[in-house]
Copies of this chain bind each other. A is one copy, B any other.
Amino acid sequence: MAQVKNNYQFEDMLQKHNLKKTAPRLRVLSMMYSKNTATSQPDLESVMNDIDRVTLYRILNTFEEKGIIHKVFDLNGTANYAVCHSDCRENHHQDEHLHFNCTLCKNVYCINELNMPKLTLPAGFEAQGFTLYASGLCPKCSKKEQVKMN
């Protein structure tokens, strides 16, 4: 479920990362932490339409650099941003988890409950990181489909 955090905690987060407490940043944090799915760039932009587009891009970039959020491209190539799990540090993400993209509601879920399988690549390839994508129906949408069936 969505991690519940209040404004004080967001201010703390910014302070810990040596970032100034500003209204745009707090609003972005608040929005991202209020959901249990990633936030697409278009969504973010339409919700925060009073904040300059460039400011949003810069906020997302710095948050990513600081290890607060990570970027995921969904199956359509759209940029989505999700809050990082515990162990991400500045300029070093630790986000090897599955991303589930619902084909119906288009939401992207970070699935941390699944440990990545160990994989051996063909000779010559030196893998540094893995990401797993899955597409299909998320719990909400699969329920809706069930109802329609009956």
A binding-site residues for B, Cβ under 8 Å: 73, 77, 79, 98, 100, 103, 109, 111, 113-114, 117, 119-139, 142-143
* CB <8 Å contact, B132 and A136: no
In the assembled complex, the Cα of A21 lies from the Cα of B138 at a distance in Å of 42
> Can you list 15 A-B contacts (CB < 8 A)?
A73-B73, A100-B121, A103-B128, A109-B125, A111-B122, A114-B121, A121-B134, A123-B139, A125-B137, A126-B137, A127-B136, A129-B135, A131-B134, A132-B132, A133-B133
Copies in the complex: 2
Contact of A129 among B119, B126, B136, B138 (CB under 8 A): B136
In the assembled complex, the Cα of A126 lies from the Cα of B146 at a distance in Å of 12
Interfacial chain B residues near A73, Cβ < 8 Å: 73, 77
Interfacial chain B residues near A123, Cβ < 8 Å: 139
Given A73-B77, A77-B79, is A130 in contact with B134 using a C-beta cutoff of 8 Å? yes
Given A114-B121, A119-B114, A119-B134, is A127 in contact with B142 using a C-beta cutoff of 8 Å? no
* CB <8 Å contact, B136 and A124: no
Given A77-B77, A130-B132, is A139 in contact with B117 using a C-beta cutoff of 8 Å? no
Interfacial chain B residues near A111, Cβ < 8 Å: 121-122, 125
* CB <8 Å contact, B117 and A117: yes
In the assembled complex, the CB of A64 is this many whole angstroms from the nearest CB of chain B, namely 13
Interfacial chain B residues near A117, Cβ < 8 Å: 117, 119
